[in-house]
Structure 1
Amino acid sequence: MISTSQAGQRPDINLSRFDPLPRIMFYDDFSQGMSGWTELLGNYTGSLRTMHPGYKQFTPPMLSNLTQWDGGTHGALTGSYALKLASRPGRGSQTVSLKRMTFPRACTMQLECFFTYKPEATQLELSDSDVRSWGVVFDVQDSKHRVLPQVRYLNALDGKLQNKWQYKEQSVDFDNVGDRTVTIYHYGEENWKDIPGGHQLICYNEIPTKVNWHYFRLGFDIRTLRYTELQCNDLVLDLSGLGTLKFDAMPNLQNLFNVIPFVDSDSDRRAFLYFDSILLSGDW
């Protein structure tokens, strides 16, 4: 962890495009490698066959230099490689990645990243409605509660552009998978709500192989278990009045803090989500 206040200046020139809180938990530039990002496996007991079907579709993240069939290698926003999430082909298909960690002190945590998304470029068409959504989930537990704050940018639904930010504060019930292990698939299409003022047009290049990078920021206060703000490019939304998924604390997950991006498809093609870099910071 790096304290920007102790350093007296930003410790790396690459951080000047971010606006971190005083203590940096991690900064991942994917030109340097995977940095601990991995596939999300659903809970199971005894056999992978007991895993919830929603989790069985998830694929592992990978490093990508964004090679294209028409223009060669695109590369990341900075450097050669980005973290790539790729869903399976099929409308409604989804994939998730995560970084597993814990929080050393209850405080406001802030996630920042530079991202872009595209469907797989298998057709010479605009394809701007082929990616359904992309979003971020925090998985947090204190001494009393486990919470799953999650937001998404709904790009399209059933082939129609939506262009709006949403959040979720209700989910489905837990399922038992044996040996005191439960699972919940909270990534589904149900129970999403529009964030007030959250309509936003995000730049999408006309050519199916071209990408443009965007800035994203999301804050969550572990002390109050409430969101703070969401920012995407020049849109800033106050989320402090929104609810979130909340359950009783589980016995073995004290101080949990996982960061979980996801992407899903609204067509028969794979949906791709790329991250040039990701930064998590705190305010203590």
Structure 2
Amino acid sequence: MTSPDPLLSRFDPLPRILAFDDFDRGICGWTQLVGNYEDSLDSMLPGYAQHTSPMLSSLSHWDAGSHGSMDGTYALKLATRPVKGARTASLKRLTFRHAGPIRVEFYATFKPEATEMRLSETDVRSVGFLFDLQSGDQTTNGERVMPHLRFLNAQDGEHIQKWQYKDRTTSVVPLGTENKTVSHDHLMNEDWIDLAGGAQKLCYNEIPTKVNWHYFRFDFDLAEMKALAFQCNDRHFDVSGFAPIRMKAMRNLWCMLNFAAFVETDTDKRAFLYLDSVCLSGAL
């Protein structure tokens, strides 16, 4: 049924489409990843306090006007602050009705802010995505599970270009005085593990204002809470050794199905991640 639709035919969804976000239609429920807090905003962990809100963008630039999105005008833009090591993250918050296979597919591109007349191909540190999941409330030994993947583009000016995952997070710390809210910074730059065979060279065009769109796909089983497949452009990666972050279920996050994207800068200039469209689908 998707093949006659030019917007959906670029994807290979599972039988039920749970969400299809084309940002020419608006922001589609995406929001800033705000850190937890209680009593005061000052209780938010610093890693989250630096995050900014996503925005709709026509990919304007100084030398030729606007790129536009892949097939329209607007993409969702994530922009870091102009400080080396800064990151930002945005997400869509959902819950699931069936614990089975899910698939997320999206088209995206990334670049630094074009403040210099040089290629700047090592100015973006990384771009990545994650699911934040929790089993249903009737599950025995419920878990919160967080599969993370990032493309480490550069570190301290060195062009690296490889995929990594994360199987641990920082310590969970209580916030406030009511014993209801906790937080942990699962996007810290530490503890990333190289994905087996994960080296990949992506398309990065010849001047800092040009972009090329990339295809990403990640499959995950909500029943067994394990990765099934990962693809970027023409590459299919082995996820048999992939491990997500796992922790004890939290008391108010049952059936959570959040999907997030993030970007980090490696220099004192803003790094941008643009999402053209996102398709989340499930087996039933």
TM-score, structure 2 length as denominator?
0.96
Task: Kindly tell me the number of residue pairs found equivalent between the two proteins.
Answer: 277
Q: Distance in 1 between matches of 2:81 and 2:33?
A: 15
Q: Distance in 2 between matches of 1:42 and 1:255?
A: 20
Deviation string 1:244-270 (CA, Å, 9 cap, x unpaired) is 110111111110010010000001110
Q: How does 1:31-46 map to 2 (within 5 A)?
A: 31-46=24-39
Please state whether the residue corresponding to 1:208 is helix, strand or coil. Answer: coil
Q: Distance in 2 between matches of 1:47 and 1:83?
A: 30
1:221 deviates by 0.7
Gapped regions of structure 2 (runs ≥ 5): none
The answer to whether structure 1 residue 262 and structure 2 residue 262 are counterparts is yes
Alignment match of 2:124 (pick from 131, 152, 167): 131
- Does the aligned pair in 1 maintain the 2:2–2:8 contact within 8 Å? no
Deviation string 1:33-55 (CA, Å, 9 cap, x unpaired) is 00000011101001111100110
**Partner in structure 1 of residue 152 of structure 2:** 154
Distance 1:138 1:47, change over 3 A: same
Which AA in structure 1 matches 2:175? V
Q: How does 1:56-135 map to 2 (within 5 A)?
A: 56-135=49-128
Please state whether the residue corresponding to 1:101 is helix, strand or coil. Answer: strand
**Partner in structure 1 of residue 171 of structure 2:** 173
Q: Distance in 2 between matches of 1:199 and 1:269?
A: 25
1:11 deviates by 6.5
Q: How does 1:195-274 map to 2 (within 5 A)?
A: 195-274=195-274
1:272 deviates by 0.1
**Partner in structure 1 of residue 43 of structure 2:** 50
1:240 deviates by 3.6
1:172 deviates by 1.3
1:13 deviates by 2.3
Gapped regions of structure 1 (runs ≥ 5): 1-7
Q: Distance in 2 between matches of 1:154 and 1:29?
A: 26
Please state whether the residue corresponding to 1:17 is helix, strand or coil. Answer: coil
Runs (4+) of structure 1 exceeding 6 A deviation are none
Which AA in structure 1 matches 2:42? R
Deviation string 1:106-160 (CA, Å, 9 cap, x unpaired) is 0111110010000000000110000000000100000300011100000001110
Q: Distance in 1 between matches of 2:16 and 2:240?
A: 22
Please state whether the residue corresponding to 2:24 is helix, strand or coil. Answer: helix
- Does the aligned pair in 2 maintain the 1:226–1:240 contact within 8 Å? no
**Greater Cα shift, 79-88 or 166-175:** 166-175
1:10 deviates by 4.1
Q: Distance in 2 between matches of 1:17 and 1:260?
A: 21
- Does the aligned pair in 2 maintain the 1:171–1:190 contact within 8 Å? no
**Once the two structures are aligned, what percentage of the paired residues are identical?**
52
RMSD of aligned alpha carbons = 1.0
